[in-house]
């Protein structure tokens, strides 16, 4: 499974903050492949996986956006009951913890994209 770079952005939780960030990425042809956003006491914690991490990094720096980077698994799963269960069970059997996960699928698409942060990335990548 591919190991990808995920950015965790700290954005002010206000109208337009996410739009500005997404628009800045789009202006440089950076596509968001996965996104998760949550509120943490007035700030938005936004996790994104993009198709051009080097360009995105430069954009975030130019915008003055606080961010961190980490490596995560990008797993494509069939849209069938039990697909995610089989992957996470396999990780558990090898004593690998899933710290968090997010993903989605478009109705009718053959595969879902699931992002997994795990306790041992290299070992997990070899298993799934």
What CATH number does the domain located at 72-127 have?
Answer: 3.30.70.260
Phi, psi (degrees; rounded to nearest 5) at 105:
-145, 145
Give the count of beta carbons closer than 10 Å to the beta carbon of residue 34: 18
What CATH number does the domain located at 3-71 have?
Answer: 3.30.2130.10
Q: From first to last of the 128 residues of the chain, give the pLDDT tens digit.
A: 589 999 999 999 888 999 999 999 999 999 999 999 988 788 989 999 999 999 999 999 999 999 999 999 999 998 889 999 999 999 999 999 999 999 887 777 777 777 777 888 888 888 87
Degrees, nearest 5: CA angle 21-1-9: 20
Task: Please state the domain extents for the chain.
Answer: 3-71, 72-127
Rounded CA-CA distance 115/75 in Å is 6
């Amino acid at each position: 499974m591919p190991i990808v770079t995920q950015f965790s952005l700290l954005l002010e939780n206000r109208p337009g903050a996410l739009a500005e960030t997404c628009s800045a990425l789009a202006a440089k042809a950076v596509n968001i492949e996965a996104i998760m956003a949550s509120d943490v006491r007035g700030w938005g914690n936004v996790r994104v996986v993009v198709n051009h991490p080097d360009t995105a990094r430069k954009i975030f720096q130019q915008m003055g956006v606080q961010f961190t980077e980490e490596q995560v698994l990008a797993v494509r799963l069939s849209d069938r009951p039990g697909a995610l269960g089989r992957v996470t069970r396999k990780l558990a059997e090898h004593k690998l913890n899933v710290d968090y996960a997010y993903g989605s699928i478009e109705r009718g698409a053959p595969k879902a994209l699931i992002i997994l942060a795990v306790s041992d990335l290299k070992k997990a990548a070899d298993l799934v």
